Amino acid sequence: MSAPRTVVLIACSSRKLGRPDRAERLYRGTLFRASLDWAHSKDPDAICILSARHGLVDLDQEIAPYDLTLNKLPVDEVRAWAENVFRQLTSRFDPRRDRFVFLAGERYRRFLVPRLAHVELPLTGLTYGQQVSWLQGKVARQRQSPPQSGEEVSDACQVLHEWANSLPRQRFPLEMSRVPANGLYILFEHGEQAHGGDRIVRIGTHTGDGNLPARLREHFETENKDRSIFRKNIGRALLANEDRELLEQWNRDLTTRAAREHHGATVEGNALKEVEARVSAYMRERFSCVVYEKTGRDDRLRLEQGLIGTVANCPGCKPSGSWLGNRSPIDAIRDSGLWQVHHLSARPFSAAEVAAMSRSGNMKPRPTSNPRQAHSPAERTRRKGKYGPLKAYLESASNSVSMAFGEVERVLGAPLPASARDYRPWWANHEGANKSPQSRAWQDAGFRVASVRLGHAGSVRFERVGEQGPRHKASHDPDRAMRVQACTHGGRARRFVWLLDDDTLDIESESGMSHSYTVREVLTILQMLHAHFRDNWFPLANNVEKLYHGTERYGLGGAIHQQRPGDTLHAQGASYLGVVLEQAGIFEWNGKAREIQWRIRRMPENETSLLSSLTSVPHSDESGQQRV
């Protein structure tokens, strides 16, 4: 069987020669010429033109000028045009195996993309001018030598990463009082590493005076993809391999009233809201942020471009295999390893320029309430101590964190001592001046060890001080003693109890393992599953090893894991949570002990509706009496 082919499809342009000619010379539009140059630079197996009049056209096919565009045709006529083009494509290419790269607008793609198995949309989300700039920049970079060697860029990027990693770090919810009115922001993403620290995945600034806090709010707080290209790009990557029709809707800009009225009949509002919730959950859990004060507009714009160019051209800043951006339909994101498409071809800073910036004080961190902030990685490690990374990890965590010992070691970047696996007092919550270094780390973060399971495959559960497990709460509050008895499915069925504590669902297995989920978190999980599967079956999918390596198929476990990336024990609670939601009438089980699957039987509209479903499940008090 022959290898799959790559086919580039370019939309025609309104500007044409005034006489018949070969198609590649007939169309004179600036975007068309830039698209054609880019396509040639990629050396694909075929380049074809999508003509509003002739359908699929070869570059050497001679045609006469005409005046017709799909943008002004009724939808039925566009659909008929696409049907004809699809017939032409299938007569020459394999729609199931070949790769189709579209350099064309939404109308030219709309009815073709859903029928092709492998599609790339490198220009998605860019304005006309941005498309031309991106295409021309790509071609220019390929034709010219870089201003510095890869080694020089890497040296400069090393210094930039050390500086950025030394700045005071924030995670959601951001403390806007610590954000300057004007400056740049630099983002890191969980699991991405470069130059001995966290890898920079986005650099941004603002144009309006005093708008840096507002810009960060648009990214992390305001659930509106059309106000943040960053959010839109995250959503594109999440949807790329899931739902192409919904991806097309997500790509549409609905900012203006005219756009909303025009696309109103073709947009699923509730589905887009669910995607917004998924994007928020991903960003708030995965990203951390540092800010750098820079008051002058021109200065910060120049600095932004140089920083982006340095990171984008650094040979040492490669994304991990599990990076979400690898799924992006936008070439610029996949190629650069950055969540952005602008300034990627900007001239990188040289090592001398970075050194000069450092000496001039331009790289100096903004003063904070922590005057002892370290600047070099070695100094930061010395001051934090071996267990400093665990403290930092817990400071950004929720109220209850369950971690396998292997996960603790990955956070620390070093192995635990043998006594941690064999000696329970190693995990003691010491008091007074004689605290152990490890106990000081989690207690300084506001946590205590609630339970520990020893052994090579052991685990530990941390709880924020003032937050305690289900058994303790039930014994002190008669209302909390009303628990629901349940049992997991599968060959090794396990009994467990669950209860609601205000807005938190607490689960405790017969072996003493606990899992906690807020009602809001459960609703987000349901919204993600509904957006992905609708009313179809989905798997349990909570294999710890596969979740860690990113090879687990998507299902209930994966949706939970996205709420706390890296906390695989939290995701392992899927076998319990699925049964709870089944008891609440939200899930339907497929009845199988192996290959367990559920589907959403009834989707709660909001947190109140979900809470009502959970509280309506019959439960029993400590005497065994059934209550509702």
Highest mean predicted confidence (pLDDT) among 31-35, 144-148, 172-176 = 31-35
Q: Which helix (H) or strand (E) holds 458?
A: none
- CA distance linking residue 287 with residue 279, whole number of Å: 11
* pLDDT at position 505 over 90: no
In the structure, what pLDDT confidence band is assigned to residue 466 with cuts at 50, 70 and 90?
low
pTM score of the predicted model: 0.43
CA distances from 319 to 169, 316, 344 (A): 21, 9, 15
| Mean pLDDT confidence for 204-212 | 87
Biggest distance spanned by C-alpha atoms of the chain:
92
pLDDT at 551 over 90: no
Q: Which of 402, 391, 519 is nearest to 450 (CA)?
A: 402
Mean pLDDT of 193-200: 90
pLDDT at residue 424, as a whole number: 74
Q: Does the pLDDT at position 167 exceed 70?
A: yes
Please, which pLDDT band fits residue 624 given cuts at 50, 70 and 90?
very low
Indicate the pLDDT class of residue 468, thresholds 50, 70 and 90. Answer: very low
Provide, rounded to the nearest whole percent, the portion of the chain with pLDDT above 70: 84
What would the two tokens of residue 386 be? 């071996």
By the 8 A CB rule, do 59 and 23 touch?
A: yes
State residue 628's pLDDT score.
Answer: 33
- pLDDT, mean of residues 310-335: 90
Which amino acid, one-letter code, is at 282?
Y
Asked if residue 152 has pLDDT above 70, the reply is yes
Residues contacting 464, CB < 8 A, separation 6+: 398, 399, 400, 446, 447
Instruction: Tell me the mean pLDDT in the region 90-107.
Output: 91
User: For position 567, what pLDDT does the model report?
Assistant: 64
Residue type for position 578: G
Q: Residue 284: which residues within 8 A CB-CB, separation 6 or more? A: 172, 173, 220
> In this predicted structure, what is the pLDDT of residue 589?
93
Q: Which tens digits make up the pLDDT trace of 386-435?
A: 888 888 888 766 677 777 787 788 788 788 888 888 777 788 877 666 67
- Between 1 and 424, where is the model more confident? 424
Residue 570 reports pLDDT greater than 80? no
- Three-state DSSP class for 244? helix
Phi/psi of residue 540, each to 5°? -65, -50
Beta bridge partners of 485: 497
What lies within 8 Å, CB to CB, of 296 at 6+ separation is none
Select the highest-mean-pLDDT range: 134-138, 412-416, 437-441, 470-474. Answer: 437-441
Per the prediction, the chain carries an average pLDDT of 81
580 pLDDT higher than 90: yes
Q: In degrees rounded to 5, what are phi and psi of residue 196?
A: 80, 10
- Over residues 104-132, the mean pLDDT reads 86
The answer to whether the CB of 143 falls within 8 A of the CB of 185 is no
Cis before 173 (ω within 30): yes
| Spatial CB neighbours of 323, under 8 Å, sequence gap ≥ 6 | 189, 191, 192, 337
The per-residue pLDDT for 512 is 55
CA–CA distance, 527 with 277 (Å, rounded to integer): 8
Tell me, what's the pLDDT at 401?
Answer: 78
Distance CA 309, CA 314 (A): 8
Q: What is the mean pLDDT of residues 437-452?
A: 86
Highest averaged pLDDT of the listed ranges 284-288, 476-480, 616-620 = 284-288
Which of 63-72, 211-220, 400-409 has the lowest average pLDDT? 400-409
DSSP per-residue codes, 247-305? HHHHHS---SHHHHHHHGGG--HHHHHHHHHHHHHHHHHHEEEEEEE---HHHHHHHHH
User: Who's near 247: CB < 8 A, 6+ residues apart?
Assistant: 236, 239, 240, 329
What is the SS3 assignment for 31? helix
Instruction: Decide if 86 contacts 18 (C-beta within 8 A).
Output: no
Contacts of 256 (CB under 8 A, 6+ apart): none
Cβ-contact 413, 386 below 8 angstroms: no
Query: 472 pLDDT band (50/70/90 cuts)?
Result: very low
Residue written as token pair 């006594």 = 419
Q: What is the Cα–Cα distance from 596 to 602, expressed in whole angstroms?
A: 19
Buried b vs exposed e over 544-572: b needs ≥16 C-beta within 10 Å?
beebbeeebebbbbbbbbbbbbbbbbbbb
pLDDT computed for residue 480 by the predictor: 42
pLDDT of residue 102: 94
The angle subtended at Cα 229 by Cα 223 and Cα 233, nearest 5°, is: 90
Please name the residues in contact with 74: beta carbons below 8 A apart, sequence gap of 6 or more.
none
User: Got the DSSP string for 296-351?
Assistant: -HHHHHHHHHHHHHHHHT-TT-PPPTT-GGGG-S-HHHHHHSSS--SSTTSPPPPH
Number of H helices, E strands in the chain: 26, 23
β-pairing, 46-51 with 55-58?
Answer: antiparallel
For residue 365, what pLDDT is reported?
A: 47
pLDDT of residue 187: 96
Which are the contacts of 529, defined by CB distance < 8 A and separation ≥ 6? 538, 556, 559, 600
Residue 204 makes CB contacts below 8 A (sequence gap 6+) with 184, 185, 187, 215, 230, 304, 340
pLDDT at site 359: 53
Task: Give the mean pLDDT of 466-480.
Answer: 41
CA distance 75 to 511: 60
